[in-house]
Amino acid sequence: MGPPREEVHQVRVDQALGLASLSAARVVAGSRGLGRPIRWVNVVDIPDPLPWVGAGQLLLTTGITWPQAAAQQRQLVSGLVQRELSGVILAVPKYLPHFPTPTLHQAEVEGLPLIEVPWAVPFAEITQSVNGGILAEPYAVIEESAAIHQQLTQAALTASSLQDLVDVLGGLIDRDVTLNDKDGRILAYWDSSPSLTPPPPPSSWAATARSQLTADDRVVCPIWLSGELAGTVSIDEGSHELSELHLRAAEHAAVVAALHMATQRQLASLEARMGATFLDTLLEGKFDGTAHNLERARLVGFAPEEPHQVGILSTLSPLPPTRDAVMRRDLISDQIRHRLATAGGLPVISARLSQVIFILPSGLSPQALLGDLAAGDSALAVGRPHPGPEGVRRSYQEALSILDQALPGSVCLYQEMLVPRILSGDIQARHDFLEQLFGGAQLTRGGDLLVQTVVALAREGFHRRRTAARLGVHPNTLKYRLDRVSEVLRIDLQDPGVQFRLQLAVTLLSLPHKVDPEPCP
C-alpha cells in the first residue's frame, strides 16, 4: 500500500499554461517535465536564487542576474532541479532576448521546463492567476465534497440497504465503488462500466487507518464501528486520475455506512430480543391466547392454528460457558435465524447457556435446515409437531427430554427415541408412543373399533383367520376394517417395523400397573 496523499493542493505546469495570463507563453526547453506540480509562484531576481526557492515553486525572473558563463548556467539549472522546482519563466526581451543556449541544453537534459513570456505580461498577473488557481482548488473540492456529503446523508435517511448508499455515491462520482465487510466479502457494488466485474479486495485493506490511494489505483477508506473495523469503501481510478475529492467522498461514505450499519444492528438486536421474549413466553407456557395476543403473534409470523416443532441445538460446551463458547453460540444463533428467514419460517431464537432454541418451519426437515451446524461438538434434539401455542411448549419439553441422549454431530428426533425411553420405564414415553401410533384413529368415526381390531390382529400374531374368529366377524369384514386401519393410521401392516410397534403397543396396553402420565405442563 502506498503512502497517504499529502494535503497540499497544486496544479501542473501544463495546466497553468492554459490560463489567460500565460496564453502568450512559449515552452523552449524541458517539455517532458510539464507534468511537474506547482504549489506556488515565486519571483526571484538575485545573483544566487537557490537558497530562496523550494520544491514545487514556479520561478519568475527578468533574467537581469542570470549568469553569463556557460558552466554557471548549467550549474544553476542543475541546482534548480535538485531543489525540485516546477519550472522557470523568463520575461523577454528586456534583459535577455531568450534563454542562453547552455541553459536550454542543460534544462533539456534535466527535464526542467523553461518558458518565455512577453515582457508586457505583468508578473503580478501571472502570480495572481496561478496562485489563485491553486487556492481555488481546495475550495472547489470542499464545496463539491459538502454536496456529496449532503446527498449521502439524505440517502441514509431513506436507504433500505447499503446498496442504496453505494448507488448514490457511484452516481455522483461516476466511478466504480465497492463496499466490503471486514473479511473482504462484497456487500454492495456500483459499476460505472457494465462490462467490468467487482475487483477482489486487497488483503491489506484491513490495516488502513484512513483514506489512502493503494498501489492498484484505488481510494480505500475503512468503516469503523464502535472502535472495530466493520468494512471498507473503495473507489477505483478508472480512466481519470483520482483526486482529493474522491478521498473525501470515500470518507463521507464510510461515515454514513457506519451509521447505517449501527442502526441496522440496533434494529436487529431489538427484533431479536423481542422475538426471544415471545418465544420464551411460548416455551414457558405463559402465552395468553387472547384475541389481542393472537393478533400480535400473527404479526411476528407465528400462526397459532398450525402445528409447531421445536428444535434445541446444544453446543455441548461446559457450564458455565466460557466467553468463546457464548460468542460461538451467538454466531450459530445468527446463522440459524438467517436460515429460518430464508426458509420462510419464524426467524426467532432463544439462546440459553449453551442452547439455541427455535421453531422449525413446517415441511422442512431439521437436517435440511441446519446443514453443517449440527456437527462436530454440537447436537440437535427435535420434538414432535403439535398444534397451537400450547403445542410449542409440548414440543419443547419433548426435545428437552432427549437432549441428554443426543450424540455430538447428530440430529435426535423425539419420535425415534420413544422405544428406548419406553424400555427405560418412561411413562410419558409410553403415552406418547401409543398416541403417535393410534392417535389418528381418535379423529375418525368408529376409530375405537379400528384400534380394537388392529390390537386383536397383533395379539393373534397377525394371523387373520384367528383374528376374525377372535372378533367373531366374517374374514371379509376383517379385511375391510384392516384396510381402513392402514388408511387412517397410515401404516403398512405387512411392514416388520410396524408389526413390532403394534406388538409393543399390545404389551404396553397389557401392563397390569399401567399408569396414565400427567398431562404435559
Per-residue pLDDT of the chain (521 residues; tens, 9 = 90+): 333 344 445 688 998 898 889 999 999 999 999 989 888 899 999 989 999 999 989 999 999 999 999 999 999 999 999 999 999 999 999 999 999 999 999 999 999 999 999 999 999 999 988 887 776 555 555 566 667 777 777 766 666 778 888 888 887 777 888 888 877 888 888 887 654 455 544 443 333 434 454 445 677 888 887 778 888 888 887 666 666 666 777 787 788 888 877 776 666 566 556 667 888 888 888 888 887 777 777 767 788 888 888 988 888 777 777 777 788 888 888 888 888 888 878 888 888 888 888 888 877 777 777 666 655 678 888 988 888 888 899 999 888 888 888 777 778 888 888 887 777 777 888 888 888 888 777 778 888 888 888 888 888 888 888 989 888 989 899 888 888 888 888 888 888 888 888 888 888 887 765 444 443 33
DSSP E strand boundaries for 333-391: 350-352, 355-360, 379-382, 386-387
Q: Are strands 26-29 and 114-118 parallel, antiparallel or unpaired?
A: antiparallel
Other residues' Cβ atoms within 10 Å of the Cβ of residue 26: 13
What is the C-alpha separation between 430 and 433, in angstroms, rounded?
Answer: 5
Q: Are strands 355-360 and 307-314 parallel, antiparallel or unpaired?
A: antiparallel
Show the DSSP H helices in 159-225 as ranges: 162-173
What is the C-alpha separation between 500 and 354, in angstroms, rounded?
Answer: 37
Which residue in the block uniquely carries the three cell numbers 427455535?
358
Write the secondary structure of 381-397 as one string of H (helix), E (strand) and C (coil): EECCCEEHHHHHHHHHH
Domains in the chain, CATH or no CATH each: 11-133 (3.40.1390.20), 159-263 (3.30.450.40), 284-416 (3.30.70), 435-510 (1.10.10.2840)
Q: H or E stretch including 231?
A: strand 228-236
Other residues' Cβ atoms within 10 Å of the Cβ of residue 431: 20
End-to-end CA distance of the chain: 64
Burial level of 31, CB count in 10 A (0-12/13-18/19+)? middle
Task: Give the relative orientation of helices 162-173 and 123-158 as an angle to the nearest 10 degrees.
Answer: 160
Q: What is the pTM of this model?
A: 0.46
Instruction: Give the contacts of 402 (CB within 8 A, at least 6 positions apart).
Output: 381, 412, 414, 417, 421
